[in-house]
Amino acid sequence: MKVTISLIKADIGSIGGHIMPSSGLMERVKEVVRKQGKGMVIDSYIGHTGDDIAILMTHTLGEDSEKIHKLAFDAFMEGTQVAKKQGLYGAGQDLLKDSFSGNVKGMGPAVAEMEIEERPNEPFLAFAADKTDPGAYNLPFYLSFADPMYCSGLILSPKVGKGYTFHIMDVEYTEGDKVVELSAPEDLYDIAALLRDQERYVIEKVYSRDTGDVALSISTTRLHNIAGKYTGKDDPVALVRVQGNFPATGEIISPFAIGHYVAGFMRGSHNGPLMPVKKNSPISYFDGPPVVNCLAFCVKEGVLTEAADVFDHPFWDYVRDNVSRKSEELRRQGFFGPAMLPFSELEYGGIVERLKNLEGRFSVRKE
Ligand code: F6R
Ligand code: MG
Ligand code: MG
Q: Whole-number mean pLDDT of the chain?
A: 95
How many Å lie between the centroid of ligand 3 and the Cα of residue 95? 12
Query: Is 220 exposed, middle or buried, given 0-12, 13-18 or 19+ CB atoms closer than 10 A?
Result: buried
Query: Is 290 exposed, middle or buried, given 0-12, 13-18 or 19+ CB atoms closer than 10 A?
Result: buried
Residue 169: band (very low, low, confident or very high) from pLDDT cuts 50, 70, 90:
very high
Quick one: DSSP state of residue 120? S
Task: Give the count of alpha carbons within 13 A of 90, CB side only.
Answer: 23
- The predicted-structure confidence for 215-246, as pLDDT tens digits, reads as follows 999 998 766 566 655 555 689 999 999 999 99
CB atoms within 10 A of CB 236: 27
Pocket test for ligand 1, best of 231, 233, 287 (most atoms within 8 A of CB): 287
| Whether residue 206 has pLDDT greater than 70 | yes
Q: Name the percent of the chain lying above pLDDT 90.
A: 86
Residue nearest to atom 13 of ligand 1 (CA): 267
- The predicted-structure confidence for 339-355, as pLDDT tens digits, reads as follows 999 888 887 778 888 88
CB atoms within 10 A of CB 206: 25
- Residue 315 is predicted with a pLDDT of 98
| Whether residue 297 has pLDDT greater than 90 | yes
Residue 254: band (very low, low, confident or very high) from pLDDT cuts 50, 70, 90:
very high
Q: Does residue 11 carry a catalytic annotation?
A: yes
- Residue 176 is predicted with a pLDDT of 83
Alpha-carbon span 316 to 1, nearest angstrom: 35
Report whether residue 131 contacts ligand 1, using a CB cutoff of 6 Å.
Answer: yes
Report whether residue 287 contacts ligand 1, using a CB cutoff of 6 Å.
Answer: yes
Q: Which amino acid is at 70?
A: K
- Hey, is 286 helix, strand or coil? helix
